[in-house]
Structure 1
Amino acid sequence: MQFKSIYGQQEIKQRLRQLVAENRLPHALMLHGPDGTGKRQLAIALLQYLACTNRAEEDACGQCPSCLKFEKLVHPDLHLVFPVLKPAKWSLSANPTSDDFVGKWREALSEHPYFSEQQWYEVLAADNKQGLIYRDESLQIIRKLGSRPYESEYRMMLIWLPEKMHPSAANKLLKIIEEPPPKTHILMVSRHTEEILPTILSRTQLMHVPPHPQAIIREAILARGEHNDRLVEDAVKRANGNFNTALQTLEQDASELDYFQRFTSLMRLCYSRAIIDIDNWVNDVANLGRVKQKQLLDYSLRLLRENFMMHMDEPALNYLSSMEADFSKKFSPFIHERNVFILAEEFQEAANHIEANGYSRVVFMDLAIKVIRALIIE
């Protein structure tokens, strides 16, 4: 993956190139920021640039043997680490590691370069689980980084979502992150640095990758051949700097339509205090996998924010699709400064409970009752 294949982020690209040119690339660098900003691609492009045997000032050559292997993510000195799940029929005593799923991860990156954590779990057919980087993975990391490079002069490792490390795995890696072998570079890509052990963070150099401005999102969408003005502008507004969200909008993601219908249904039922129908809604949502329940709550938080912006008459800060806007024209008067923070806090708390494996039926029924109370605040 070359820098030129990544949309936007010109300042970050220049900083990364400069680190290599000045021989100042740290042994542990963490690119962090929100989803859909190209952090993972930038990390891969940086390592390809580092290993390229014929690199130019602006980019890797894309043609040398090293670059050709990087394009397929099969370079023998590039090691990939990411959250994995233990399959239902896993029979081995050891926990799974990235090597067990690396083929699927390469394929996912090839087909959807901006794929999110949730989309990765969907690739693994894991509706009701969330991934981990297990302790067994840390033992493999130590072994791989302790081996001699095969082809490059560098040992290179990409760790996607280090916040998903089991504490025992993170603690096991402290020494090698702080004092790796010579010419070893560990690139970490994080969405939530606050969830990473402070002892890991203190051993890395952090570089924030910001959301894309709307102009870059629009340019990228048009470059893909989409020329329907309404669809393009819907995608740009809803992306909020996340190119993956823009792509999902263009693809008319069926799950998001489902979340829209579930959210609007809950709001109508809570407003009318239809307890029996709310109970049916809760039972239905409780049958969703935990990952989809979390996505529904995240989507609901976004719509609450957008409705508050509409209520405050801030169209420039509104990122609604035309379908959502039609609903919000009638609903937004009920989301105001006296209840928006209450609602946001309750939806966020429900999301936290779901992520902590709380009993989903209790979580969603409790949420519905609190929504009823919040909606009657005038």
Structure 2
Amino acid sequence: MLFKEIIGQQEVKGKLLSLVREDRTPHAMMLFGPEGTGKLALALAMTQYLACNDRQEDDACGVCPSCIKFGKLVHPDLHFVVPVLKTGSMTAPPVSDDYAVEWREALLTDLYLTESQWYESLGAENKQGIINVRESENIIRKLAFKPYESDYRMVVIWLPEKMNQPAANKLLKLIEEPPEKTLILMVSEHTNKILPTILSRTQLFHVPPISGADLREGLMKLGQADQQQIEDAVLRANGNMSTALQTLRQDDVERQHFELFTELMRLSYARDIVQINGWVERVAGMGRERQKQVIDYSLRLLRENFILNMENDSLNYMSAKESEFSRKFSPFIHEGNVHALAETFTLAGNHIEANGNARIILMDLSIRVIRLLMQKATAAN
């Protein structure tokens, strides 16, 4: 991965390049920020730059033997740690090496890969991955060896917030005192879920949402959509490249999220419990990751409708289809119910993530939505 291939993030790129050029590369780093901002791509670009045999001023050469191996994600000094789960007839706790082929395929297909897309590629969207203590032992063993071809041993830990307590504790000493010429590069979306003792041992780099101008330019280079589709994608994305790409693809999952949200809002407004029960059964029959995606999508559209109701169009990030629905629906999302609605959907998402009974959670959510949509705007005064 080359820095020039990454959309936007010029400031972050400059900081990472300076660390390598000035020989100030820390032994443990954390790239953190929202989903779809290019954190993982930046981590790959930095490791490739660090190992490049013909390093340029502002990027790796892209053609040396080291860069070619990085381009295929097969360099012997680059290791990955990602959340994994048991599939098939597996009995032992799984580690990332068990899914090395699947990981390379998924990442080379989409460098803005999301957690849910990763699980879907494994055919296990109804489960949640973790990073277990066996994985930590694996990392410690790998980093004990000398580098094979480059000056550094490098490990990229994607979503370290998925480490369970024993795994995190096992890594503490390694992160604090790693072998010489070692780079531990973590890529996180929820630093609040990481042990403070791990955070304090890493150098933190915030990766913000991609600017609208950079997103627009990056999507235009893809050449797969007309100008109006690109504008819709930029508005919908709010700095998230993964969301922008989904919007352009107009895939079935994205359409289904929109249809499920609008259906729930209409049925709740009509107080049609019988039809709501059918909605609950359909969503409960989906995988857990898909259920979480529906909740996240709903939270985003609730926010957009509230902003629209406040007549602040400059802060709206919706596609044309979403905007058409929201012009009629937004008056029902106001200061009297927006906070309670957001808390209700967030709580449902937390309960789903904690493996609660989806039918009970979703029916409770629906009943709460009925009550909240009945509230008037003056309720907050």
1:231 aligned to which of 224, 229, 232: 229
Q: Distance in 1 between matches of 2:63 and 2:289?
A: 40
Any conservation in 2 of the 1:160–1:190 contact (CA below 8 Å)?
Answer: yes
Cα deviation digits, residues 121-159 of structure 1 (max 9, x gap): 110111211111111101100000111111112111111
Which residue matches 1:355? 353
Local SS of the residue matching 1:89: coil
Indicate how the Cα distance of structure 1 residues 289 and 227 shifts in structure 2: closer, same or farther if over 3 A, else same.
Answer: closer
Kindly provide the amino acid, as one letter, of the partner of residue 322 in structure 1. A
Deviation at 1:111, TM superposition (A): 1.0
Cα deviation, residue 241, structure 1? 0.3
Q: Where does residue 200 of structure 1 map in the other structure?
A: 198
Residue matched to 1:9: 9
Corresponding position of 1:78 = 78
Higher mean C-alpha deviation, range 57-66 or range 205-214: 57-66
- The answer to whether residue 250 in structure 2 is matched with residue 252 in structure 1 is yes
AA aligned to 2:192 is: E
The residue number in structure 2 matching 1:18 is: 18
Provide the rounded CA distance (Å) in 1 between the counterparts of 2:317 and 2:8: 21
TM-score by length of 1: 0.98
**Mapped contact 2:76–2:148 kept (Cα < 8 A):** yes
Question: For the residues of structure 2 that align with 1:318 and 1:153, how far apart are their CA atoms?
Answer: 47
TM superposition shift of 1:36: 1.1
Task: Report the Cα offset of residue 88 of structure 1.
Answer: 3.7
Q: Secondary structure at the match of 1:247?
A: helix
Deviation per residue, 1:228-259 (Å, 9 max, x gap): 12211100000100111111100002111111
Q: What is aligned with 1:104?
A: 102
CA distance in 1, matches of 2:44, 2:15: 15
State the distance in 1 between where 2:223 and 2:85 align: 36
Of the candidates 244, 251, 273, which is equivalent to residue 271 of structure 2?
Answer: 273
Counterpart-to-counterpart distance in 1, 2:64 and 2:273: 66
Q: Give the Å deviation of 1:226.
A: 3.6
Which amino acid is 1:10 matched to? Q
Alignment partner, residue 123 of structure 1 = 121
In the TM superposition, 1:39-78 aligns within 5 A as 39-78=39-78
Paired residues of 2:95 and 2:135 also in contact (CA < 8 A): yes
Question: Which one of the candidate residues 342, 345, 353 is aligned to 2:343?
Answer: 345
The answer to which of 233-242 and 276-285 deviates more is: 276-285
Provide the residue aligned with 1:216 in structure 2: 214
Quick one: distance in 1 between partners of 2:60 and 2:257?
42
Code of the residue aligned with 1:238 in structure 2: it is R
1:176 is matched with which residue?
A: 174
The one-letter amino acid of 2:251's match is D
Once residues 125 and 12 of structure 2 are traced to their aligned partners in structure 1, the CA distance between those partners, rounded to angstroms, is: 35
User: Please, which moves more after superposition, 322-331 or 175-184?
Assistant: 322-331
Q: Distance in 1 between matches of 2:251 and 2:52?
A: 38
Q: Which residue of 2 aligns with 1:134?
A: 132
The letter of the residue matching 1:367 is L
Q: What amino acid does structure 2 have at the position aligned with 1:126?
A: A
User: Which letter maps to 2:19?
Assistant: L
Give the TM-score normalised by the residue count of structure 2.
0.97
- SS at structure 2 position matched to 1:80: strand
Is contact 2:84-2:94 (8 Å) kept? yes
Stretches (4+) displaced over 3 A:
none
- Check the 8 A contact 2:116/2:125 in 1, yes or no: no
- Provide the aligned C-alpha RMSD in A: 0.9
Partner of 2:161: 163
Aligned counterpart, 1:191: 189
Q: 8 Å contact 1:226–1:232 — kept in the other structure? A: no
Deviation per CA, 1:172-192: give whole Å up to 9, x if none.
000011000000011100000
Q: Choose the corresponding residue for 2:147, options 146, 149, 153.
A: 149
Q: Tell me how far apart the structure 2 counterparts of residues 199 and 213 of structure 1 sit (CA, whole Å).
A: 32
1:311 equivalent among 309, 312, 316: 309
What is the rounded CA distance, in whole Å, between the counterparts of 2:21 and 2:318 in structure 1?
43
| 3-state secondary structure, aligned to 1:207 | strand
Between Structure 1 and Structure 2, how many residues are aligned?
A: 376
8 Å contact 2:78–2:155 — kept in the other structure?
yes
Percent identity, aligned pairs only, is 61
Contact residue 29 and residue 206 of structure 1 kept, 8 A: yes
Distance in structure 2 (CA, Å) of the matches to 1:52 and 1:326: 50
Aligned residue identity for 1:347: F
* Contact 1:346–1:370 (8 Å) recurs in 2: yes
CA contact (8 A) 1:85 1:96 kept: yes
Give the Å deviation of 1:227: 4.7
1:56 Cα deviation after fit: 1.1
Distance across 1 between alignment mates of 2:105 and 2:341: 39
Corresponding position of 1:295? 293
Is 2:240 the counterpart of 1:242? yes
Which whole-Å CA distance do the structure 1 matches of 2:229 and 2:369 have between them? 32
Q: Given that residues 36 and 243 in structure 1 are in contact (C-alpha distance below 8 angstroms), is that contact kept between their aligned partners in structure 2?
A: yes
The CA distance in 2 between the partners of 1:320 and 1:56, in whole Å, is 40
Structure 1 gaps of 5+ residues are none
Question: 2:224 and 2:315 mapped to 1: Cα distance?
Answer: 24
Corresponding residue SS for 1:188: strand
